[in-house]
């Protein structure tokens, strides 16, 4: 996401807000309601001016890929949304690499406490 920064001038009547881009947002989606989860997590990310890297659930990657295709057809710029489907055997390794990547500063997920503890350790 991005930081909301505040600037004020010397006069008390003039002030402004601006957004400062931070980094891509890494998002892990759940199996239930994948389209809803993708839209509710990616929408705020785009509104803040950030790109999104999404790892859909192993059982429902086609929903995320279909929405990404619709985004391309609607004119979403290349690189703004990246979908990274992965089989269960490599999901943990992919998640760890993205969580530890120095460029990624925000991680969003919906899931179990066990997964949350694992992500926090990375």
Enumerate residues 6+ apart whose C-beta is below 8 A from 99: 26, 107, 119, 122
**How many CB atoms sit inside 10 A of residue 74's CB?**
7
- What CATH class is the domain 22-121? alpha beta
Question: Is the pLDDT confidence value at 26 over 70?
Answer: yes
Ranges of each domain in the chain: 22-121
Helix (H) or strand (E) holding 28: strand 25-28
Tens digits of residue pLDDT in 88-112:
888 889 888 988 888 887 888 877 8
In this structure, is the dihedral angle defined by the CA atoms of residues 63, 56, 22 and 17, taken in order, positive or negative?
Answer: positive
- The structure's pTM equals 0.72
| Gap between the Cα atoms of 25 and 16, Å rounded | 26
- Given this model, what pLDDT does residue 120 score? 84
Residue of 89, 113, 76, 98 whose CA lies nearest to 28: 98
Most confident range, picked from 14-18, 44-48, 49-53, 71-75:
71-75
Strands 2-8, 15-21: pairing is: antiparallel
- Given this model, what pLDDT does residue 20 score? 53
């Amino acid at each position: 996401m991005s930081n909301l920064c505040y600037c004020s001038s010397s006069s008390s009547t003039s002030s402004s807000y601006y957004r400062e881009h931070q980094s891509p947002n890494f998002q892990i989606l759940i199996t239930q309601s994948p389209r809803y989860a993708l839209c509710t997590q990616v929408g705020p990310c785009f509104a803040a001016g950030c790109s999104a890297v999404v790892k859909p659930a192993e059982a429902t990657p086609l929903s995320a890929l279909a929405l990404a295709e619709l985004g391309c057809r609607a004119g979403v710029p290349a690189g703004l949304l990246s979908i990274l489907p992965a089989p269960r055997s490599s999901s943990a390794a992919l998640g760890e690499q993205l969580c530890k990547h120095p460029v990624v500063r925000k991680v969003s997920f919906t899931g179990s406490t066990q997964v949350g503890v694992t992500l926090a350790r990375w």
